[in-house]
């Protein structure tokens, strides 16, 4: 019994990974946001939208109860920051799911540390 090693030419045929990325648990990620996945737009999400969301959450009297009241503020923030990308109900639902995922993992921890 032996092992044979053989050299093969490698060629790229493009990525076979779906353009719509999701975590292994099926939750949407930043890659699912309804904006082009370019440096400018993802940077705008990270450097403008997320801090704006954190500031909004910090103004809430019940910090841990913001999840139930997040839809309208997120829609308003989106319109202000990304005016060229109109949200319909389906797209807003994706943004809300990404925000809630972010909120559950980071926002509250950041606000508590401030």
Domain boundaries, the chain: 55-114
| pLDDT tens profile 77-98 | 999 999 999 999 999 999 988 8
| CA dist., res. 47 & res. 59, Å (int) | 19
Predicted TM-score (pTM) of this structure: 0.66
- Per-10-residue mean pLDDT of the chain, 114 residues long, equals 60 44 67 91 92 86 74 93 94 88 52 39
Phi, psi dihedral angles at 65 (to 5 degrees): -110, 20
Task: Look at the block and give the residue holding tokens 């921890």.
Answer: 109
Of all residues in the chain, what percent are helix, strand and coil, respectively (each to 5)? 60, 0, 40
pLDDT at 112: 38
Q: ∠ CA(52), CA(106), CA(38), 5° rounding?
A: 60
For 9, the 3-state DSSP assignment is coil
């Amino acid at each position: 019994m032996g092992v044979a090693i053989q050299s093969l030419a490698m060629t790229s045929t493009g990525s076979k990974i779906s353009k719509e990325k999701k975590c292994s648990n099926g939750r949407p990620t930043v890659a699912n946001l309804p904006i082009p996945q370019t440096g400018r737009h993802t940077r705008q999400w990270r450097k403008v939208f997320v801090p704006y969301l954190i500031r909004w959450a910090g103004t809430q009297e019940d910090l841990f109860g913001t999840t139930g009241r997040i839809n309208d503020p997120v829609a308003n923030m989106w319109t202000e920051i990304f005016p060229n990308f109109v949200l319909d109900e389906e797209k807003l639902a994706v943004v809300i799911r990404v925000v809630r995922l972010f909120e559950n993992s980071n926002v509250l921890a950041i606000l508590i540390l401030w």
